């Protein structure tokens, strides 16, 4: 009976850690895809098309969200904010993901347009 209780406790803790780390990452990836497509719509000359704007945005959203988290110390890294998913943490994840996605899509689009002209 003691081993079963210990196993349940370990499962509960691991499940909580996964949720605390995965939910903010999912928010960053989704907002990155949106940011990549918004940047593609704003800058039609460097747009990669909907699919590749989304892919670049997803990668940029993950990177941008993680960089913002590391620099400002907000988002998934703060245990209280991640456990409660408060408004400030969610907004910082959306902002970091969206901006990161748009920036990476713009960088890739600029590189692609310069290479096609050469």
Q: Residue 6 domain-assigned?
A: no
Does pLDDT of 53 surpass 90?
yes
> Is 101 among the domain residues?
yes
What pLDDT score does 2 carry? 63
Residue 66 has what pLDDT?
85
Structural domain contains residue 109 = yes
pLDDT at site 76: 46
The answer to whether the beta carbons of residues 105 and 40 sit under 8 Å apart is yes
Does residue 65 register a pLDDT over 60?
Answer: yes
Number of structural domains the chain divides into:
1
Distance CA 67, CA 59 (A): 12
Domain limits at 74? 21-117
Domain annotation covers residue 9: no
Whether 88 is covered by a domain: the verdict is yes
Judge whether 2 lies within some domain.
no
Evaluate if residue 32 carries a pLDDT over 90. yes
Q: Is residue 7 part of a domain?
A: no
Reduce the secondary structure of 13-33 to three states and give it as a string. Answer: HHHHHHHHHHHHHHHHHHHHH
């Amino acid at each position: 009976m003691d081993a079963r209780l210990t196993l349940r406790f370990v499962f509960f803790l691991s499940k909580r850690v996964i949720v605390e780390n995965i939910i903010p990452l999912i928010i960053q990836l989704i907002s990155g895809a949106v940011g990549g497509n918004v940047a593609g719509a704003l800058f039609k000359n460097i747009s990669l098309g909907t699919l590749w704007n989304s892919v670049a945005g997803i990668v940029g959203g993950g990177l941008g969200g993680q960089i913002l988290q590391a620099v400002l110390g907000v988002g998934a890294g703060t245990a209280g904010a991640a456990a409660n998913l408060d408004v400030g943490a969610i907004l910082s994840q959306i902002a970091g993901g969206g901006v990161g996605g748009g920036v990476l899509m713009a960088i890739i689009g600029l590189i692609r347009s310069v290479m096609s002209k050469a």
